[in-house]
Structure 1
Amino acid sequence: MSLPPGFLDELRTRISLTHVVGRKVMWDNRKSNPGKGDMWAPCPFHHEKTASFHVDDQKGFYYCFGCHAKGDAIGFVRETENVEFMEAVRILATEAGMPMPERDPQAQAKADKRTQLTEVMEQAVQHFRLSLKTGAGAAARDYLERRGLDAATQDQFEIGFAPDGWQHLWDHLTGKGVAPDLIIDCGLARPSTKGGKPYDVFRNRIMFPIRDARGRCIAFGGRAMDPNDNAKYLNSPETELFDKSRTLYNYAPAREATGKGAPLIVAEGYMDVIALTQAGFGAAVAPLGTAITEPQLQLLWRVADEPIMALDGDRAGLAAAHRVIDLALPLLEAGKSLRFALMPEGKDPDDILRAEGKGAVQKLLESALPMVQLLWQRETEGRVFDSPERKAALDKVLREKIALIRDRSLQGHYGQAIKELRWQLFSPRRAPSGGGKSGKGGKGSWGKPDMAARPSTKQSLLATSRDGVQDHKREAVILAALIATPDICHDFETPLQEMECHDQLHAKLRDLLLRHAADGKSAVDAEINRAVGTDALENLMKLPHVAISTPVRHPGDVALARMTVAEELAKIAARRGLQAEIMDAAEDLMGLADEAVTWRLGQAAEARNRAVRSQQEDQAEYDLAENGARINRGEREEFDALLDKISFSKTRR
C-alpha cells in the first residue's frame, strides 16, 4: 500500500519521539535535557548499564553509541514491536489521531506532483527576490528600510516583491516552461472569469515565503503596498502543499533555536516574527492570519513545554488570547501549558523593539502570565461581585472551564490555584486598629492612642502566632541535633531542603549542613563558626528548649538524633497540613457551605485538638531519664513507691 504524499511528514510532525521511546526506556535525568529534547537512556536494543542511547526530539532521530542502532519513530516501533513498516505507521497514526488513508494506487503520481509543485514554488521565491532589487521594488525597499529590516535579515527570510501587474509571475514561469496547471495548483495564479489569461494572485505586495517543517516553500504571504488595498495581508490559498491551520511561519528555524535554549514566542504576524528574530529572539513563530488551531498548538508543544503567546496589546489581541485559552484547556497535560506576555495597549512586539529596545521585550517575556492567571483575569476583571448571586455565577463559570481539562491531576492543581485567587479577592480584611482617626485626640478606631510598634517587637516570636513559635523552636532543635550529629543529615536531605526556616540564621545553618555534612563533624563546625560566628552557635545551643534536647546532651548518638529529627519534622508537617486543611475548608465556606464542609472543619478541629492533647500528655505524663529515654511519670511513681515499701520492710527487719 502506498501512502498519500505528505502523510508521513504530518505523522512525524504530530508525534514526539521522546514520548514513543519513553515507553520502552528509563531516561537518565542527570544526562538528559528535556527542555532541548536531548534525551539519554540505556539502549533498549542491547544490555548495558550506561546511558549511550541518544534521542534528538527536535530532529526526530535516535542513535546508540554502543550498538549503533539508529532511526526515527517508525523505525523504533518496527524494532521494538517486531512489526512491518505499515503496521508501525498504523500504530503511530492511531496514537496521533490520524486516520489511515485508503489504498491509493496513484500515490506515487501524487508524490511526484508534490515534488513538481515545490520546485515551482522555489522558482517563484527567486523571481520575487529578484523583483525586489529592480526599479519596481524601490518603494518596497524603502518600506523595509523604514521598518528597520537590514539586508542580512531580508536575505535570511528571503523577502521579495510581487510587481503591480496582472501576469508578471505567470509570464515569468510559463516562459521558463512551467506547465500552467502547476502554477494554478500552487496557488500562484487564478483562472480568468472573462476568458483571458490566468492572473497573478499576488500583485504590488512585499512577499514572505512560508516554509514547512522540512524547509520547503509551500505558500506565500503578501503585504500590500497600496494603503487602500482591501486586504493588508494576503496568504496563499490552500493547496496540496499548504494547509494554513497546520502551518506556522518560521517554524523550522524556531525549532532549531529552541533546541539551543531560546524561548518559543508566538507573535501575530510576519513582521513581528522577523523583528523579534533580528533582535535576537530566534525562536519566534506566527499563525497565518487565523486564530491558533489545535494542530498548531501541538506543533508548538513539540518544540517547547511552555510557549509564550506575545499578542498585540489591543482588544483584538486580548480576544485572541482568550480564544487560545478555551482551545488549550482540553489539551493541557502535565508540563505542557502556555504563558501570555500581553503587550502594552496599542503596541505589538515590533513597536516595542523599535521604541524601547530588546530589554523591554525581555522584561515582558520574563513577566509572562501563566494561563490560569489570565483565565482568572478574563472572568473577574472589570466586574463587581457584591452579591451571592454574582459570586455563584463566577464559581459556575470557573468550574465549567476547569472541567474541560482532561488530566485529573492538572485539573486539581487548577482548582487549587483558582481557590487561592478567589480567597485573595473575597477574604475579609480587617482594617488596622490603630491606623484610622476617630476625630478626637488623634485616637484610632478603638479609642486608643496610635502607637507604632518597634521593629524588634514586630519581629519577635511573641508577636507571631503560637504555631509559628512552636515551629521556630522545633527548627532550632532539628538544627542543633544535626550539628551535634551531622552523620544523619543525608537521611533528611529532602525534608531539610523543603523546611521553611523562620529566620536567616536557621536558613543559613540548614544550607551549611546540606553542603558540608558529608565532610564530617569537624568540617561542619568549622564552616558554621566561619559563616555565623561562635557566638551565634553558642546562643543557639543555650536556648532552653535546645539545651535540654537529648541529641545536644548526647552528641554523636545517631539513633537518638535520628529519632528526634524525624519526630520534630513530622510535627511541623502535621501542623502545617492541619492549617492548610482548615484554610481550604474556610475558603469553601466563602462559596456554598454544606454538610461536607462543616464536617471537614469539625474533623480538622478535632485533629488539632488531638495534637494539642498529645503534646500536653507528653509533658504531663513523661519524664526524661539521664540516658534520654522517656519514662511514664505514673509508672515511675509506682516504681518509686514499690522501692519505698521494700526499703521500709528491710528497715523493720
Structure 2
Amino acid sequence: MSLPPGFLDELRSRTSLSQVVGRKVIWDSRKSNQGKGDMWAPCPFHQEKSASFHVDDRKGFYYCFGCHAKGDAISFVRETENVGFMEAVEILARESGLAMPARDPGAQQKSDRRSQLADIMEQAVQFYRLQLRTGAADAARTYLGQRRLDDARLERWEIGFAPDGWQAMWDHLRGKGVAEDLILAAGLAKPSTKGGRPYDTFRNRIMFPIRDARGRCIAFGGRAMDPQDKAKYLNSPETDLFDKGRSLYNHGPARAAAGKGQPLIVAEGYMDVIALDAGGFSAAVAPLGTAITETQLQMLWRIAPEPIIALDGDAAGLNAAMRLIDLALPLLQAGQSLRFAIMPEKMDPDDLIRDKGAAAMQRLLDKALPMVQLLWRRETEGRVFDSPERKAMLDKALREKIKQIGDASIRAHYGQEIKALRWELFAPRRGRGGGKKWTPGQKAAAVPLAETRASLLAAADEEAQDHLRQAVVLASAIATPAVIAEFESGLETMRCSDPQHARLRDLILQHADSGGLKERISEQIGPQVLENLFSLRHVAISPCMRNPGDVDLARMTLAEELAKLSARHGLDAEIAEAVEDLGGVADEALTWRLSQAAQARNMAQRSEHKDKAQYDTGDNGARINRDERARFDALLHQIGHSKPQR
C-alpha cells in the first residue's frame, strides 16, 4: 500500500518518540533532560546496565552508542514489536488518533508531483532574490535598509522582490520550460477570469520564502510596497505543499536553536522573527499571520514544552493571545503549557528590539506570565466586583474555564492558583478599617502569653473583648476546618486590629480547602504562633479546644462569636454616622436606627438564641452541655433524698 504525500510527516509530527520508547525502557533521571527532549536509558536492543541509548525527542530520532541501533518511531515499533512497516505505521496512527488513508494507487504519482512543485518553488526563490538587485527594487531596498536589514541578513533569510508586472514570474518559469499547470499548482500564478493569460500571484512585494521543518520552500509571504494595497501581507494560496494552519515560519532553524537551550518565542510576523533572530533569540517562529491552530500548537510543543507567546501589544495581539488560551486549556499536560510576554502598547518585538535593544526584550521574556495569570487577567481586567453577584459571576466564569482542562492534577493546581489570585484581589476589601496590610517577610506582632499579668485578659474595654473573641474564632476554625466554608463570608469581613490575627485569618481562608490546615499555617508563620494562640486561657477553655473536630460545637461557637463582633461593629458604624447626622436636626429615623443597632448588639451579647442552644455558660466562662447539667442536677437531687437520716 502506498501512503499519500505528507502522511508520514503528519504522523511523525503527532508522535512523541520519548512516549513510544518510554513503554520499553526506564529513563535515567540523572542524564535525561525532559524539558529539552533529551532522554537516556539502557538500550532495549542489547543487554547493558549503563544508559547509552539516546532519544532526541525534538528531532524524532534515537541512537545507541553501544550497539549503534538508530531510527525513528516507526523503526522502533518495527524492531520492538516485530511487525512490518505498514503495521508499525498503523499502530502509531491509532495511538495518535490519525486515520489511516484509503488505498491510493496514484500515491507515487502525487509524490513525484510534490517533488516537482518543490523544485519550482526553489526556482522562484532564486528569481525573487535576483529581482531585489535590479533598479525596479530601489524602493524595496530602501525600505529594507530602514528596517536595518543588511546584506548578510538579506542573504540569511533569502529575501527577494516580486516586480510590479502581471507576468514576470510566469514568463520566467515558462522560459525555463515549466509546465503551466505546475506554475498554477505551486500557487505562483492565478488563472485569469477574463480569458487572458494567467497572472502572477505576487506583484510589487518584498518576498519572504516559507520553508517547512525539512528546509523545503513550500510557500511565500509578500509585503506590499504600495501603501494603498488592500493586503499589506499576502501568503501563498494553499497547495499540495502548503497548508497555512500546519506551517510555521522559521520552523527548522527554531527547532535546532531550541534544542540547544534557547527559549521558543512565538511572534506575529516575518519581521518580528527576523528581528528576534538578530537580537540573539534564534528559536523564534511565526504562525503566518493567522490565529494559532491546534496543529500549530502541537507543533510548538514538539519543539519546546513551554513556548513564550510574544504577540503585538495592540488590541489585535492581545485578543489573539486570549483566544489561544481557550484553545490550549483542554490540551494542557504536565510540563506542557504556555507563557505570555506582553509587549508594550502599540509595539511588537521588532519595534522593541530596534528602539530599546535585545536586553529590553530579554527582560520582557524573563517576566513572561504563566497562562493561568493571563486567564485571570482576561476575566478581571477593567471590571469591578463590588457585589456578591459580580463575585459569583467571576467564580462561575473561571470554573467553566478550568473545567475544560482534561488533566486532573493540572485542573487542581489551576483551582488553587485562581483561589490565591482571588484572595489577592479581594484582600484590600477585607482589610478595610482592619489595620495594616500584612506583607511577606513582615514580623508579626507577638501574641501575649496567658500568664502575662498585663495581657488583654486584664483589660475591660470593648476593643480588648473583640481581640479575645477573634482569637476564639481563629482557634476554632483551625481546630475544625470543616466549618470554614460555612462561615467564609463572616471570616472575610471580620476586622482584625491585630496584624497577627489578620494574617491568621487570611491563611485560614487561603488554605481551607488544601488539607492539613494547621501544618500549612505553621509552615507560613511558624509553629510558635499557633502554640501561643492555643495556650491563651480564654482559648484553651473554649468548647472547641476541649472537643476539637466537633462540627456542631464549632458551628455554634463561630456563629455566636461572629454575631457578637458583627453586632458591635454595626453599632459603632451607626453611631459614627449618627454623629455626622447630628449636625442637622435629629429625627425619629435617626433614633430608630440607633435603637435597632443597640438592640442587635444587646441580643448578641446576651446570646438570646440560648433557648435553642444546647449549652450554658458557667461562672468560669466554660460552656456546659445542658443535658449533662440536667442529668447531673437530677443525680445530686436523688443522692440528697436518699441520704440516711441520723
TM-score by length of 2: 0.70
Residue in structure 2 matched with residue 121 of structure 1 by the alignment: 121
Alignment of 1:166-315 (within 5 A): 166-315=166-315
Asked whether the equivalents of residues 55 and 61 of structure 2 are also in contact (C-alpha less than 8 Å), the reply is: yes
Residue in structure 2 matched with residue 454 of structure 1 by the alignment: none
- Is 1:430 matched with 2:431? yes
Residue in structure 2 matched with residue 393 of structure 1 by the alignment: 393
Residue in structure 1 matched with residue 71 of structure 2 by the alignment: 71
Residue in structure 1 matched with residue 384 of structure 2 by the alignment: 384
CA deviations on 1:408-457 (whole Å, 9 max, x unpaired) are 11101101100111111123443577889xxxxxxxxxxxxxxxxxxxxx
- Is 1:463 matched with 2:464? no
| Secondary structure of the structure 2 residue equivalent to 1:296 | helix
CA distance in 2, matches of 1:289, 1:390: 37
Asked whether the equivalents of residues 478 and 517 of structure 2 are also in contact (C-alpha less than 8 Å), the reply is: no
CA deviations on 1:452-493 (whole Å, 9 max, x unpaired) are xxxxxx85x863799xxxxxxxxxxxxxxxxxxxxxxxxxxx
CA distance in 2, matches of 1:347, 1:41: 46
CA positional deviation for 1:150: 1.6
Moved more, 87-96 or 157-166: 87-96
Equivalent position amino acid for 2:187 in 1: G
| Secondary structure of the structure 1 residue equivalent to 2:223 | strand
| Secondary structure of the structure 2 residue equivalent to 1:223 | strand
CA positional deviation for 1:96: 2.0
CA deviations on 1:522-565 (whole Å, 9 max, x unpaired) are xxxxxxxxxxxxxxxxxxxxxxxxxxxxxxxxxxxxxxxxxxxx
Alignment of 1:535-550 (within 5 A): none
| Secondary structure of the structure 1 residue equivalent to 2:210 | strand
**Among 470, 474, 488, the residue aligned to 1:589:** 488
Cα 1:414/1:590, change in 2 over 3 Å: farther
| Secondary structure of the structure 2 residue equivalent to 1:234 | strand
| Secondary structure of the structure 2 residue equivalent to 1:209 | strand
CA distance in 2, matches of 1:73, 1:357: 42
Asked whether the equivalents of residues 258 and 264 of structure 1 are also in contact (C-alpha less than 8 Å), the reply is: yes
CA distance in 2, matches of 1:305, 1:588: 42
CA positional deviation for 1:367: 0.2
| Secondary structure of the structure 1 residue equivalent to 2:221 | strand
CA distance in 2, matches of 1:22, 1:465: 58
Asked whether the equivalents of residues 35 and 259 of structure 1 are also in contact (C-alpha less than 8 Å), the reply is: no
Cα 1:462/1:162, change in 2 over 3 Å: closer
Asked whether the equivalents of residues 313 and 342 of structure 1 are also in contact (C-alpha less than 8 Å), the reply is: yes
| Secondary structure of the structure 1 residue equivalent to 2:351 | helix
| Secondary structure of the structure 2 residue equivalent to 1:316 | helix
Equivalent position amino acid for 2:336 in 1: K
CA deviations on 1:256-290 (whole Å, 9 max, x unpaired) are 00011110000000000011101110000001121
CA positional deviation for 1:241: 0.5
CA distance in 1, matches of 2:483, 2:202: 60
CA distance in 2, matches of 1:417, 1:193: 58
Equivalent position amino acid for 1:267 in 2: A
Q: Across the two proteins, how many residue pairs are aligned to each other?
A: 477
| Secondary structure of the structure 2 residue equivalent to 1:130 | helix
Alignment of 1:468-479 (within 5 A): none
CA positional deviation for 1:193: 1.3
Runs of 4+ in 1 over 4 A off after TM superposition: 431-436, 578-588, 590-593, 603-608
Asked whether the equivalents of residues 582 and 604 of structure 1 are also in contact (C-alpha less than 8 Å), the reply is: no
Equivalent position amino acid for 1:274 in 2: I
Equivalent position amino acid for 1:25 in 2: V
Asked whether the equivalents of residues 478 and 518 of structure 2 are also in contact (C-alpha less than 8 Å), the reply is: no
CA distance in 1, matches of 2:518, 2:417: 27
CA distance in 1, matches of 2:478, 2:531: 13
CA positional deviation for 1:590: 4.8
Alignment of 1:34-183 (within 5 A): 34-183=34-183
CA distance in 2, matches of 1:270, 1:241: 20
Name structure 1 gaps, 5 residues minimum: 437-457, 467-577, 617-653
CA positional deviation for 1:139: 1.1
Asked whether the equivalents of residues 419 and 587 of structure 1 are also in contact (C-alpha less than 8 Å), the reply is: no
CA distance in 1, matches of 2:486, 2:130: 66
Cα 1:138/1:582, change in 2 over 3 Å: farther
CA distance in 1, matches of 2:410, 2:436: 43
Cα 1:262/1:40, change in 2 over 3 Å: same
CA distance in 2, matches of 1:174, 1:322: 46
CA deviations on 1:353-382 (whole Å, 9 max, x unpaired) are 111001110000000000000000000011
Name structure 2 gaps, 5 residues minimum: 450-476, 493-508, 522-529, 536-646
Alignment of 1:491-502 (within 5 A): none
Cα 1:589/1:199, change in 2 over 3 Å: same
Equivalent position amino acid for 1:109 in 2: Q
Cα 1:79/1:604, change in 2 over 3 Å: closer
Cα 1:156/1:605, change in 2 over 3 Å: closer
| Secondary structure of the structure 1 residue equivalent to 2:335 | coil
CA distance in 2, matches of 1:225, 1:25: 56
CA positional deviation for 1:242: 0.5
| Secondary structure of the structure 1 residue equivalent to 2:214 | coil
Asked whether the equivalents of residues 312 and 343 of structure 2 are also in contact (C-alpha less than 8 Å), the reply is: yes
Cα 1:134/1:422, change in 2 over 3 Å: same
TM-score by length of 1: 0.69
Residue in structure 1 matched with residue 23 of structure 2 by the alignment: 23
CA positional deviation for 1:91: 1.3
Cα 1:418/1:169, change in 2 over 3 Å: same
CA distance in 1, matches of 2:270, 2:479: 48
CA distance in 2, matches of 1:591, 1:235: 59
CA deviations on 1:80-119 (whole Å, 9 max, x unpaired) are 1221111111111122221110000110000000000000
CA distance in 2, matches of 1:255, 1:266: 12
Equivalent position amino acid for 1:250 in 2: N
CA distance in 1, matches of 2:343, 2:222: 25
Equivalent position amino acid for 1:276 in 2: L
Asked whether the equivalents of residues 305 and 337 of structure 1 are also in contact (C-alpha less than 8 Å), the reply is: yes
Alignment of 1:435-584 (within 5 A): 459=443, 463=446, 582=481
| Secondary structure of the structure 2 residue equivalent to 1:126 | helix
- Give the root-mean-square deviation of aligned CA atoms: 3.1
Cα 1:385/1:93, change in 2 over 3 Å: same
Equivalent position amino acid for 1:245 in 2: G
CA positional deviation for 1:581: 9.5
Asked whether the equivalents of residues 271 and 350 of structure 1 are also in contact (C-alpha less than 8 Å), the reply is: yes
Cα 1:582/1:266, change in 2 over 3 Å: farther
Cα 1:344/1:72, change in 2 over 3 Å: same
| Secondary structure of the structure 2 residue equivalent to 1:463 | coil
Cα 1:591/1:234, change in 2 over 3 Å: farther
CA distance in 1, matches of 2:431, 2:247: 54
Asked whether the equivalents of residues 160 and 208 of structure 1 are also in contact (C-alpha less than 8 Å), the reply is: yes
CA positional deviation for 1:33: 2.1
| Secondary structure of the structure 1 residue equivalent to 2:234 | strand
CA positional deviation for 1:31: 1.1
Asked whether the equivalents of residues 4 and 107 of structure 1 are also in contact (C-alpha less than 8 Å), the reply is: yes
Moved more, 237-246 or 4-13: 4-13
Identity %: 70
CA deviations on 1:286-310 (whole Å, 9 max, x unpaired) are 0112100000000000011110000
Cα 1:462/1:273, change in 2 over 3 Å: closer
CA positional deviation for 1:589: 2.9
CA distance in 1, matches of 2:491, 2:289: 44
